[in-house]
Amino acid sequence: MSTLPVPRIAVIVVAAGSGARLGADGPKAFVGIDEHTILHHALQGVFAAPAAQVVIVAPAGREGDALTDARAVAGDRADLVTVTTGGSTRQESVAAGLAVLWGDVDIVLVHDAARALTPPEVFARVADAVASGRGAVLPVLPVVDTVKRVDDDEVRAAVDRDELAAAQTPQGFRRELLVSAYRGAAQEFTDDAALVAAAGHQVFTVAGDERAFKITTPADLERARTTLHPAAQAALPRVGVGTDVHAFGGDGALWLAGLEWPGERALSGHSDGDAVAHAIVDALLSAAGIGDIGTHFGTAHPEYAGAHAAVFLERTRELLAGAGWRIGNVSVQVQANRPKFAARRAEAEAVLSAALGGAPVSVAATTTDGLGFTGAGEGVAAFAVALVVPA
């Protein structure tokens, strides 16, 4: 059995950022992902990993809030927590954290609170690598996008992505190495690994994790919420938009909004040219994320040649049900000089609603004051918006 002492590990959690790019009213670390803050979630990963001291670098005036978050996560390990005030830059904040490390700390992990969902195993990988003799270690992910070197808006060259990696945190260091590098720092660096490398030290890598993404923009915050609560996000209603256009010139009678219009010119199309029904179909399929009208009813499906609205809408309702959705409501607007909808609006709404299993459908109609192909009487355009909800 080894008699070597177990390294004592401190994690410095940098939580002093302003959150300007997030568009937050206050410091980023105290923005809520759900009922808990970004900092709260970050500390869950920290306290699940090996740590003898946890230093939280907070914005001036928010030290008490940081301590409250820490105590809520740490439980009976709250005595491991030290809160200190950060500086105006990330580098100043890390230096503030280094200044309050306990004397017996051997290894320092520096972690951005903004990488709030970093799993404990990333902390463990970094700490183990430093403990095994690596002086500086950072977790990375491979770069999967094609990368270009550009000047203004002109592409200058392609960059070999096999030589690239995306750096994450926590980044781990032997304490004396990191402290020495900070003492000699003559410029600002974007992360601690770059500062240490500039001081002449070799930096090694371990595998990062997709969940360790940085919350910087509102889209990142939404990604974090979805990552934490995928079922809740999936349960949200969804909206889809559909549009369809058909020209006059078909054979037989006009079919529009599920109704036959005697004495009116027919629309041309693969089926009956019912632009209203087809726009509704596209809106519903779009909302459910299951393709479009061409996917399910296009010319590759000869069984729908000449089919009327009820066939399309009933089949669409079946497709949505199979994907776990039901129809909330549909609103559709028709743009055409003819036919005149006012007298048959309620009839059209009833027919369309029945074909959708009773989901309410509202129909509005307008002309375009003689403008465009509809104003010239060449055809009909329809625009639909559909709401679907989990079944």
What are the start-end ranges of the E strands in 119-231? 136-142, 147-151, 154-159, 165-167, 171-174, 204-207
Residue 135, number of CB atoms within 10 A of its CB? 17
Helix (H), strand (E) at residue 379 = strand 379-390
Binding site for a divalent metal cation, residues? Answer: 244, 246, 278
Do residues 16 and 57 lie in contact, with contact meaning Cβ atoms separated by under 8 Å?
yes
Binding site, residues? Answer: 244-246, 270-271, 278, 292-294, 366-369, 373
Q: What angle, 0 to 180 degrees and rounded to 10, lies between the N-to-C axes of helices 120-131 and 38-47? A: 50
Q: How many residues does the chain have?
A: 391
Distances (CA, A) of 311 to 272, 330, 348, 352: 11, 17, 15, 11
Please tell me the distance from the alpha carbon of residue 163 to that of residue 160, in angstroms, as a whole number. 6
**Burial annotation 270-300 (CB, 10 A radius, 16+ → b, else e):** bbbbbbbbbbbbbbbbbbbebeebeebbeee
Phi, psi of 352 (to 5 degrees): -65, -40
By CB atoms closer than 10 A (0-12, 13-18, 19+), residue 321 is middle
In the chain, how many H helices and how many E strands? Answer: 13, 16
